[in-house]
Structure 1
Amino acid sequence: MPRFLRIMFLVGTITGAGFGSALAQTSPAVVRPAPPSRAPHTPGDVTATELPDGTNAPANADGNFILGPDHKRAPESSVQQGVPQGAVLEFTMNSTDSKIYPGIAREANTFGTVDPTDPAKLLVPTNHPAPYTRRVTVYIPQQYVPGTVVPFIVGADGPDRELFTVLDNLIAEHRVPVMVAISIGNGSGDAQGSERGLEYDTMSGRYAEFVEQEVLPRVESQYHVKLTKDPEGRATTGGSSGGSCALIMAWYHPELYHRVLTYSGTYVNQQWPYNSQTPHGAWEFHEHLIPNNPAKPLRIWMEVGDRDLLNPNVMNDHMHDWVVANEEMAKVLAAKGYHYQYIFARNAGRVDHAVKQQTLAEALEYLWQGYPIAGAKN
């Protein structure tokens, strides 16, 4: 399908299922057509290497790769007999205790109205203060030596128990460093006007600052771990809006994070409230921010599915196609000389679970390239 048809497909209809969609809380009576399946090698796409079906990209290779349609679960995504299993611990955070995110929500079954002067700007008058409670799940590997400084990965939309299982297996095989994983639940809702949307889609350093000031100190004090201050030893991860949030954290605070892993990243116009400095939200990453700024010291792994979201919605701004957004991300990252790996997955939807089971181990190995791993074979 030509690129312009990708964007225009279903224009005038209401579509976009799942979190990360701008219409996640529309009326249940609305029937949302399934996103069309996009073919790789479409004119305008990045040049990519076809992988044999059921295989992953090499963990030490930059570039663009196309995953086959049959997604075989990697053994690292299952509990393996004899492999040490880390401790999985949990605490809760209340909005009343936060100085950064006191809590908001959008009234149920409402969306917003388009600014008549700008189709890329959404007005959400049904937004209001609202409390929340979030869970924070912390994985600490058995191999961690108490009192020592440890690298870590922060994830959105937690808990991500599959991440913990994969880390058990990779750490035991000395394929990634011994690390802590901090899986943070969102503050509820989705998209513009919601707490989750505010946290994940805002183009600023605010969420990274929330994690740094309100989450990490509690992890350290409650579980007696020493989290590294070295950005080379800090990673972010997430899917959909949690994926764009992972990059936002590192982009606005590269002194804190150098490694980013995203599935179906929402690199589209989803930001609210409107910001004149980044009027197109995360679409600005590939439209202006990455092309027009010096390369930052980031290593990025990202994936998109061939049936990922295409959501023209009432904004009709042509900036709500997840496949196009991720293709454009790969293009600008390559032009700027970033270390990145981009996976276009055939037979895959948004944050596709089968794709994640197949690729997460390889993605983590790629992500931690160049970081010292104790006991690793040369």
Structure 2
Amino acid sequence: MADGNSIETPGSVGNGDFIIGPDYKIDPDLTDRGRPKGKSFEFSLRLADSKIFRGDDSTLDATKPVRVQRKIFVYVPAAYKDGTKAPVLVTLDGPSRLDLVKHALDNLTGSTDPDRSLPAFIVVAVENGGNDGKGSERGLEYDTMSDRFARFINDEVLSAVLTNAEIKTAYPRIAFTENPLGKAVMGCSSGGAAALTMGWFRPDLFRRLITYSGTFVDQQDDDASEEAKYPLGAWEYHSSMKLIESTDKKPLRIFTHVSENDNRANDPEETYHNWVMANERTAKALHAKGYDYRYVFSRASKHCDANVFEQTLADTLVWMWRGYIPE
């Protein structure tokens, strides 16, 4: 049985730096190929009922609306057996690319090719708390350098999935693995930064991290208490602080990506907001520290580009789950 101390042997296949584009086409494994389908569910959580993100933090900008409720989308693949402790993929800004992830699961959980298969993980797509940038609930959740969002997802969202009446009716013995090697997170933009931050601060909870067009820039709220330790927010992962390189290596598997036309800063004073530079430096820091990482630079593409997801997401998921030992 796998546990948090299990030794995986994923090897180095697929690790390193890659360039794709400028032409793109959808991966057939991200389309409906007629395979057995799983079950989809949707429910909502009131922010006011949360003990972690109530939507009333003092750092919030009153002009940036906060959601009253956040939607939670769940997909249980056909290959999942009720009572099994399932691995889980949490995706941010839900539903986001849930349609593509569903197709990947449908097509690849039954694959007989060990180099092109996925475990039967359950997907939990979580809507953000509202708006964007500094002073927003989404920014508070995603851009803050702390373990707060990891705790929210683990303690409140995943627990809510397991106790949801509709889901329990369909799967009376549904369960998630407690093994952090079986818990992955995927996000784009600030959601990508949140994915890395969740694993960085709580590798005991999440260890497989996927970030597209990651916001590894200075977007943490200026009033955040975390500014005292991380004054440049997620920029500190690769800044002169060298957070990644100066910290003991963590048991994380990390995918990062940036688009050629992701937000670039031409003004020297805006250096701390240069997405391309930030992602290139993050990848170099991961390489220097010896992480299992995969970095993709996509030509002729934009921020969180759908073409990039449609071409790469199946490969990304297969690489991310390499070496996973199911319970």
TM-score, length of structure 2 as denominator length: 0.86
Structure 2 distance, partners of 1:191, 1:85, is 37
Letter in 1 for 2:252: L
Which residue of structure 2 lines up, in the alignment, with residue 150 of structure 1?
86
1:183 aligns with 2:136: no
Q: What is the letter of the counterpart of residue 39 of structure 2? A: A
Pick from 190, 194, 197: which aligns with 2:139?
197
Q: Is the 8 A contact 1:301 1:363 kept in 2?
A: yes
The equivalent position to 2:107 in structure 1, one of 146, 169, 193, is 169
Q: d(CA) in 2 for partners of 1:105 and 1:132?
A: 14
Instruction: Give the structure-1-normalised TM-score.
Output: 0.75
Q: Which runs of 4+ in 1 moved over 4 A?
A: 123-131
Q: Which residues of structure 2 form unaligned runs of 5+?
A: 1-10, 169-173
Question: 1:210-237 CA distances to partner (integer Å, 9 max, x unpaired)?
Answer: 1111111111122242000101111010
Q: Which amino acid aligns with 1:93?
A: L
Is this contact kept in 1: 2:22–2:298, CA < 8 A? yes
**Aligned counterpart, 1:262:** 211
State the AA in 1 paired with 2:244.
I
Taking the TM superposition and a 5 Å limit, the aligned residue runs for 1:1-378 are: 60-81=13-34, 83-104=35-56, 126=62, 130=66, 132-159=68-95, 160-173=98-111, 175-222=117-164, 223-224=167-168, 225-272=174-221, 273-274=223-224, 275-287=227-239, 288-311=242-265, 316-372=269-325
**2-structure distance, mates of 1:72, 1:60:** 23
Partner of 2:4: none
Change (3 A) 1:359 1:125: closer
Identity of aligned residues (%): 41
* SS of residue in 2 equivalent to 1:290: helix
CA RMSD of aligned residues (A): 2.3
Distance 1:210 1:333 in 2: 26
What SS does the aligned partner of 1:251 have?
A: helix
Count, aligned residues: 299
Contact persistence 1:312–1:320 (CA under 8 A): no
- Contact 1:192–1:271 (CA<8 Å) still a contact in 2? yes
Deviation of 1:309 (Å) = 0.9
Asked if the contact 2:66/2:129 (under 8 Å) is kept, the reply is no
Deviation at 1:247, TM superposition (A): 0.5
The answer (yes or no) to whether the contact 1:104–1:128 under 8 Å persists in 2 is no
Shift of residue 161 of structure 1? Answer: 2.2
How far residue 60 of structure 1 moved from its aligned partner, in angstroms, is: 2.5
Distance change (3 Å), C-alpha of 1:129 and 1:240: closer
Alpha carbons 1:59, 1:366 under 8 Å: kept: no
Query: How far apart in 1 are the matches of 2:211 and 2:61?
Result: 31
2:26 corresponds to which letter in structure 1? Answer: R
- What is the aligned partner in structure 2 of residue 120 from structure 1? none
More deviation in 234-243 or 128-137? 128-137
| SS of the residue 1:291 aligns to | helix
Cα deviations by residue, 1:66-107 (Å, 9 ceiling, x for unpaired): 1121111100111112x111111010011121111111599x
Distance 2:244 2:306 in 1: 29
**Per-residue CA distance 1:298-323 (angstroms, 9 max, x = gap):** 1111111111112568x934210110
CA distance in 2, matches of 1:323, 1:154: 25
After superposition, the Cα gap between the structure-2 partners of 1:363 and 1:125, relative to the gap in structure 1 and judged at 3 Å, is closer
1:133–1:65 CA distance, 2 compared to 1 (3 A): same
- Aligned AA (2:193): S
